[in-house]
Amino acid sequence: MNNTLVSLDYVVFAIYFVIVASYGIWIYNKKKKGTTDTKDFFLAEGSLTWWAIGASLIASNISAEQFIGMSGEGFFVGVAVAAYEWIAALALIIIAIWFIPVYLKNKIYTMPQFLTRRYNETVAMIMAIFWLFLYIFVNLTSILYLGAVAINGLAGGDYLQQIMLGLGIFSLIITLGGMKVIGYTDVIQVAVLIIGGLAATYMALTIVSEKFGLGSSALAGFNQLMKDAPEHFHMILEKPGPNTSNIDVQKYVVLPGIAMYFAGQWIVNLNYWGCNQYITQRALGADLNTARSGILFAALLKLMMPVIVMLPGIAAYVLYKNGHLPQLANGSKDGAYSAILSFLPAGLKGLSVAALTAAIVASLAGKLNSISTIYTLDIHKKYFDKLADEKKQVWIGRITVLAAMIVALAFSWTDVLGIGAEGGFTFIQKYTGFISPGVFAMFILGMFWKRTTGAAAIAGVITGFVLSVFFNNYAPAIFGNETWLYTAYTYYKMEGGVKVFYTEIPFLINMGWSFFFTMAIMIAISLAGPKINPKAFDLDPSMFKLKPATLALVLTILILLTALYVKFW
């Protein structure tokens, strides 16, 4: 086992870097031959093909939180964490059929613009600020920190800050070229991500096979995982009882069994894929058929992502349990992915680092572009410089990109926010979940219920946030651990050699109840208003009709998804 990179690894990585950077520069120079306006810079309007949209969605979504965070949860919990990926495929079908037609018909380019059109400027301003804080202080920071931790672990040195800085600079190079550069370089990024990720998974399974004396067979390695850790291959975790172990209680708090499918799992995915500037921006510049095809292509790719980002974590668990990864003893689960990659031979390790870097940089670039789009079009243009021409807006966007990266680096440099202690994947899901219930309630009612009012929207976003914080931090202390709404679970973690006890409601359950009560309040407020809000969208049933080829793709995804759940239930 070798934790350091060798010359061949650096050569492989350098080839990846040169290809991506050169292609990005070529796309940028080609683009400059035409006019550069705001829609071109922020949306690449009309220039992304369906496969570029689908690849860009996956490249932007799969990042350090998946490679490191989800692999860590695979190490800790097992295949149950794949629910985030597989339910995402179903959510993408819903987005493609029902959400995207509404956005495109009403010429929506940003999520705050949707809120302005449907509600009012106040709602849009509140949410624009919310999104900027979320993207910078939760998403950018966690992607930078987790990515640097993983690559530093592979390099076998103490280069955390230097790697963070390198990731930041690489993402800036791509982002400053605009959405078209991001979109088309993402095609290369996702190819590297999938090839490198699959190669790492294949080698991980082969290593398991070899360590158990089964020869060099990936299939034998997978079968050994199922034999040695059968508890890691169940999608639905059992609800803890009086005799449940401490570790199993911790698992259930993260992934609360069948209950999460009636609560937060849907809110997480539908909000992320359908009401999120960072994601929807890829499809907002295309026509309906292209956007739908790209989104469904992403849904198909989503089904295979757990093989790349979760299975290596289970392999790491089995190897660790049998004494082959001693470096994980008393360590963070977020070290599982880099630990498993340490077994890889020269060259392949470099390819895996390239895959990981591709995922991180693509996500950083996409997030930075979304930050600059929201700030420039929904805050700066509206409130600070209403007369700014298109060229100036593009430069404001670039300055915003640079400022956001500097802030993210400052907060990631020494892990000020405690991302490592929380666990990367849980950190992002938990804190994003504070605003998800209110945001999703605003969007779903705004799209499909003509009576929803602006006052209800403001009440909804505030109520959703307050309830999320209340359920997460205060409800057990006030109402007790067992109520008809929820069950709060007590567990402990060893911190500095001392047992520290925690009592909490699973955050996916928190999100479900926050969403339910937010919806109830918004409906009650809207019922006091006019039967049809003057700002309601006109929905034409023909918008939601599918072409035969599109319907066939939807059915294919549903059949594959059903098969996966039948196998691992």
Tell me if 179 sits within 8 A of 285, measured CB to CB. yes
The answer to whether residue 163 is domain-embedded is yes
The answer to whether residue 207 is domain-embedded is yes
Q: How confident is the model at residue 46 (pLDDT cuts 50, 70, 90)?
A: low
Min mean pLDDT across 24-28, 198-202, 368-372 is at 24-28
Min mean pLDDT across 98-102, 170-174, 279-283, 560-564 is at 279-283
Mean pLDDT of the chain: 83
1 closest CA partner among 347, 311, 346: 346
Q: How confident is the model at residue 209 (pLDDT cuts 50, 70, 90)?
A: very high
pLDDT, residue 62, reads 76
The three-state secondary structure class of 182 is helix
pLDDT, residue 563, reads 93
531 closest CA partner among 448, 451, 445: 451
The answer to whether residue 459 is domain-embedded is no
Split into its structural domains, the chain has a count of: 1
DSSP symbol at 276:
-
Q: The domain containing residue 388 runs over which residues?
A: 7-432+539-544
pLDDT, residue 97, reads 93
CA distance 339 to 354: 16
pLDDT in tens, 342-366: 777 877 778 777 877 877 887 788 7
Token pair of 179 as six digits: 């959405």
CATH of the domain at 116: 1.20.1730.10
The answer to whether residue 58 is domain-embedded is yes
The three-state secondary structure class of 496 is coil
pLDDT, mean of residues 172-193: 71
The answer to whether residue 14 is domain-embedded is yes
**Residue 414 in this model has a pLDDT that exceeds 90:** no
Token pair of 118 as six digits: 């449907």
Handedness of CA 104, 378, 417, 189 (dihedral sign): positive
The answer to whether residue 382 is domain-embedded is yes
Helices 218-228/311-321 angle, 10° precision: 70
pLDDT in tens, 434-491: 788 999 999 999 999 999 999 999 999 899 999 999 998 899 999 999 998 899 999 8
The answer to whether residue 556 is domain-embedded is no
CA distance 551 to 558: 11
The answer to whether residue 474 is domain-embedded is no
What is the number of other CB atoms lying within 10 angstroms of the CB of residue 557? 19
**Residue 429 in this model has a pLDDT that exceeds 80:** no
Share of the chain above pLDDT 90, in %: 23
Question: DSSP readout, 54-113?
Answer: HHHHHHHHSSHIIIIIIHHHHHHT-GGGGHHHHHHHHHHHHIIIIIHHHHHHTT--SHHH
pTM beyond cutoff 0.85: no
CA distance 357 to 20: 11
Tell me if 465 sits within 8 A of 441, measured CB to CB. no
Decide which of 157 and 140 is more confident: 140
